[in-house]
Structure 1
Amino acid sequence: MKLKHLSLSLLTFFLCILGVFCTASYQAQNVAATFQALTSVKVCTSSNSGNQLLVQYAKNKGIFQKYGLNVEVISIESGTEAAVAMIAKSVNFCQIAGSSVINAVIAGEDLVMIAGIFNQYPYAFISVPSIKTPQGLKGKAVAISKSGSSTDAAIRAALKYLKLNPDKDVEIAAVGGEGERLQAMEAGRISATVLSFPLSLKAKNKGYHTLLDMTTLDIPYQHTVIATTRSYIKANPQVTVNFMKAIVEAIATIKKDRKGAIATLVRANKYDPKADAAILEEWYDTTIQKKIAKVPYPTLKGITKMLGDVKVTNPQASKFKAEDTVDISILRNLEKSGFINNLYKPK
């Protein structure tokens, strides 16, 4: 009798073990199948600044995965280098400065803007505390990231607005990203630069002087865009549609997620969530809520003006219209279908 009970117990034990392994195996197969079903996509961001966080936010929140995409986010320090990466097919999409795409298109490269994330200047033109007027910059060095970048275009526009000649009155030095430019200013190597929110607010709190808040100018300018190549769209139409679905959903989500937006910025830029709480809140209100459109069309007026500026030094730009640099067909279809409008309906 005892032997019989022992045999039943052993049988029950082994069946339980088998059940555990079968369940674990089934779950592992499901996870593997889900992973295999996702399309791998490489996406670059050309800065970690406050106006370049939408892609990272979408990844953090699992929005790309929702649309069948396994996205690898690659940080590239400048728009110029990011454009090169797309041209070389090292990445498939990029959140990048519009000026870098425009310059590449003028040069005959296969790049195109499919969304406009920030359609105005996101910068403040900041100087060291000792310089409180534009005239004080004469003969001094001002910093950009790289020649041909959005910071180059912005600082030239700021200088012209302030009645200074960017080619005669100052020395324009390529220093690097926002962090490097602020460090160069703190070290006394440069006298001014452009910084985006919230770093510009942080610099102001440190005693640096705001010569011009470019966000108040209301001048159309294609600053941050989502870009890819026309050849990639043609070869991967559904992937491109799914990517844009994720982007517009990320916009709708981040506008309702103050905590998640700030957390993404804090992780990317090492802000102190307590000490920097006030500027982080102001960044969210002024940048995320007010500057990103629900339907992120590029600004054709802004691109037209940018082409005109480039034409001064590169006559080749006169051969192009703003429409030659964009493809809004996917975004237009998402809007007409009601997909974007549904993202903002109460659930």
Structure 2
Amino acid sequence: MAPAMVLLALFLWLSHPAALYAASAPYKAVFTFGGLSERSGVLFVAKDAGIFQKHGLDAQIVNVRSGPIGMAAIASGETQFHVGSATGASIGAMAGGLDLVFIAGLINKLDGAFVVAPSIRTPSDLKGKRIGLQSIGGGIWMFTMLALEHWGLSPERDNIQLRVIGDQSVLAQAVASDIIDGAYLGYTFGAQMERQGFRILADLAKLGIPYQGLGVMARRSFVDRSPDVAERALRALVETIAFINKPDNKAAVTKSLARGLRLQKVEDAAAGYEMMKILYDRRIYASPDGLRNVLRLLGKSNESIRRLKVEDVVDDRIVRKLEKEGLF
């Protein structure tokens, strides 16, 4: 090859963002997430398939037991990103003065399965029943409250007992053991319960309720200081969503999901894999309508949250840059 052609090829290679990242030492970034379901599968796949590494990130994926733990970690600088829902913990931290913002939205609607005992046939049958949660104000609480509101139910008026039980694997066991009468579960655990004879009262995605179901959060000061790191993270996630949707990658995605959810059998992740293909938005903007819904619900009992506006909790500068480039 002529010297001029070699130089041109080198220039074109180095002009590609992934090539530039590969030429430098990877940035160590910690991503926390709270929801143990297929919704967080995009992180498992990005790590296992080497997509984070391709974009110059030495990513550590850490499951935290509750939103407040994730918020404390990001506030202290121990972590750079939290991938989760708009909840009492995240929105409360924003209202309390933490410069936390959604820099992207990956799932912008309510999703998952509301699983109940076989004797419960309609939403009105939930009156007087025990519903399990992972925490008060957390993602599962938000999903549950928005679903109950959609059905015209009120925990106080209708004597619906909300009980803090644990994460989704524990909630599934609690429903199976008759400790509770129902709970929100992701599609992976929901499918397992349905095979055992329990009822899917509703596929929440079909209710059409706007919600910031999964977003990428970071401190605004971190994005100001290290915009390249935030950009690497979002580029990697966009590529991962495309990777998940390619049929040839089914085995790799299912294996990552099974490992991330700590399932005993890879085939138990099949239902979750099928949902992952349609859950994620290709245009990874945060959802204004979904966030307004959350601010409205949480603002009923919190004046600081009631004063927040969508623009206070979103920073979409990097997403706009990526769209302008034609990445999605």
* Range of TM-score over shorter length: 0.7 to 0.9
Partner of 2:62: 74
Q: Amino acid of the residue matched to residue 36 of structure 2? A: N
> In the alignment, is the contact (CA less than 8 A) between 1:123 and 1:214 conserved in 2?
yes
| Alpha-carbon distance in 1 for matches of 2:209, 2:146 | 10
Conservation of the 8 A alpha-carbon contact between 1:51 and 1:197: no
Aligned to 2:176: 186
Match of 2:104 among 103, 115, 133: 115
Residue 282 of structure 2 aligns with an amino acid whose one-letter code is K
The answer to which structure, 1 or 2, has the higher relative contact order (CA under 8 A, 6+ apart) is 2
Instruction: Give the TM-score normalised by the residue count of structure 1.
Output: 0.82
Amino acid aligned to 1:134: P
Q: Tell me the equivalent position of 2:257.
A: 265
Q: How does 1:313-332 map to 2 (within 5 A)?
A: 313-332=301-320
Asked if residue 65 in structure 1 is aligned to residue 58 in structure 2, the reply is no
Q: What's the CA shift for 1:195?
A: 0.5
The alpha carbon displacement at 1:268 in A equals: 1.8
Counterpart check, 1:53 vs 2:41? yes
Residue 113 of structure 2: SS of its match in structure 1? strand
Residue 27 of structure 1 corresponds to which residue in structure 2?
Answer: none
RMSD across aligned positions (CA) = 1.8
Distance in 2, matches of 1:37 and 1:190, equals 50
Alignment check: 8 A CA contact 2:300 2:306 kept: no
**Bigger Cα displacement from structure 2, 95-104 vs 52-61:** 95-104
Q: Is the contact between residue 128 and residue 192 of structure 1 (CA under 8 Å) also seen in structure 2?
A: yes
Q: Which amino acid aligns with 2:146?
A: A
Question: What is the CA-CA distance between 1:181 and the residue it aligns to?
Answer: 0.8
**Post-superposition shift, 1:136?**
3.1
Contact persistence 1:78–1:177 (CA under 8 A) = no
Percent of residue pairs bearing the same amino acid type: 28
Q: Deviations over 1:219-258 (max 9, x none)?
A: 2110111111111112212111112111111112121122
User: CA separation of 1:167/1:35 partners in 2, compared to 1, >3 Å: closer, same or farther?
Assistant: farther
Matched, 1:240 2:233: no
Distance 1:49 1:35, change over 3 A: farther
Q: What amino acid sits opposite 2:253 in the alignment?
A: A
Give how far 1:93 is off: 0.7
2:117 is aligned to 128
CA distance in 1, matches of 2:23, 2:64: 26
Question: Amino acid of the residue matched to residue 239 of structure 1?
Answer: V
The one-letter code of the counterpart of 2:281 is A
| Structure 1 residues not aligned, in runs of 5+ | 1-33, 342-347
Aligned to 1:224, which of 187, 210, 214? 214
Residue equivalent to 1:141: 130
SS of the residue corresponding to residue 117 of structure 1 reads strand
Are 1:207 and 2:197 counterparts? yes
CA drift of 1:214 comes to 0.8
Amino acid at match of 1:268: G
Counterpart amino acid of 1:143?
G
CA distance in 1, matches of 2:126, 2:33: 32
Contact 2:24 2:56 in 1 (8 A): no
User: Aligned match of 1:151 in 140, 155, 179?
Assistant: 140
Distance 1:136 1:310 in 2: 26
How far apart in 2 are the matches of 1:61 and 1:210?
32
Write the letter of the residue equivalent to 2:90.
V
Q: Normalization by structure 2: what TM-score?
A: 0.87
**1:271 to partner: Cα distance:** 4.6
The number of aligned residues is 302
CA distance in 1, matches of 2:264, 2:291: 33
Question: Which amino acid in structure 2 is aligned with residue 295 of structure 1?
Answer: R
Q: Which deviates more, 69-78 or 127-136?
A: 127-136
For residues 270-285 of structure 1, what are the structure 2 equivalents within 5 Å? 270-274=263-267, 276=268, 280-285=269-274
